[in-house]
Amino acid sequence: MASKLSFLGFAGSLRQDSFNRAILRAAQELVPSGAELRIFDLTGIPPFNQDLENQPVAEVKEFKAAIRAADALLIATPEYNYSIPGVLKNALDCASRPYGDNALDGKPLAIMGASVGMLGTARAQYHLRQCCVFLNMYPLNRPEVMVPFAQEKIDEQGRLADVKTREKIAELLAALILWTRRLQPG
Ligand SMILES: Cc1cc2nc3c(=O)[nH]c(=O)nc-3n(C[C@H](O)[C@H](O)[C@H](O)COP(=O)(O)O)c2cc1C
């Protein structure tokens, strides 16, 4: 039997009641038995400063090690001003440096996102896919999980209550398992 895959998830929001953190927690509940999902909190990642890229702080070292230890990544991104939040872009920048030590290189990736708007982070997700080109990550094409009007789907306790969205996330995770296995050498 194939061994369990290990997924690492992070959300591009530091907000306590973040909808994107909420859908990531839902993903942790919904992950199929062939994988497990660890969540990494980006709170401790400092603003990237290229002068210091060869002496990363402990949080960046830990983040890069967690990425490297994972078979695949799951990113839950908000949409800020039609793009990904600076917090997420900064974390990806930190993980990709110094040049030649890109922890994201070759990683399979699934993307999802929740917003209060009607397009459910579509524009941010396509910007994220553009970043994946230079990062040399392998984002899964489908299903696209875009959660519009998130405030109507996530309850006061921060639980994703919407059944259809839960099904979509479960579908995404199942597809990520197949995608990761397909990309594994041998
Ligand atoms: C600086 C900023 C810019 C935003 N821009 C957009 C946007 O372009 N599109 C959108 O749908 N929502 C936008 N929003 C609203 C977010 O969808 C909403 O704040 C969402 O809850 C953020 O995700 P979170 O709950 O995970 O923190 C913006 C919010 C902020 C704070």
> 57-84 pLDDT, tens per residue?
999 999 999 999 999 999 999 999 999 9
Q: Measured from the CA of 22, which atom of ligand 1 is nearest?
A: 26
Q: Measured from the CA of 150, which atom of ligand 1 is nearest?
A: 21
Q: Measured from the CA of 119, which atom of ligand 1 is nearest?
A: 11
Decide: helix, strand or coil at residue 24.
Answer: helix
Q: Is the CB of 116 under 6 A from ligand 1?
A: yes
Q: Is the CB of 77 under 6 A from ligand 1?
A: no
Q: Is the CB of 13 under 6 A from ligand 1?
A: yes
Task: Please compute the mean of the pLDDT values over residues 26-34 and round it to a whole number.
Answer: 97
More confident residue, 1 or 157: 157
Tokens of 87: 């917090």
Residue 54: CB atoms within 10 A of its CB come to: 9
Torsion, Cα of 86, 90, 93, 94 (10° steps): 180
- Give the sign of the dihedral formed by CA 27, CA 29, CA 35, CA 38: positive
Is 70 exceeded by the pLDDT of residue 1?
no
For 120-137, the pLDDT digits (tens) are 999 999 999 999 999 999
Ligand 1 centroid vs 81 CA: distance in angstroms? Answer: 7
Is 70 exceeded by the pLDDT of residue 56?
yes
- Amino acid 45: pLDDT: 98
Ligand 1 centroid vs 23 CA: distance in angstroms? Answer: 15
- Amino acid 2: pLDDT: 77
Output phi, psi for 9, to 5 deg.
-115, 145
Q: Is the CB of 117 under 6 A from ligand 1?
A: yes
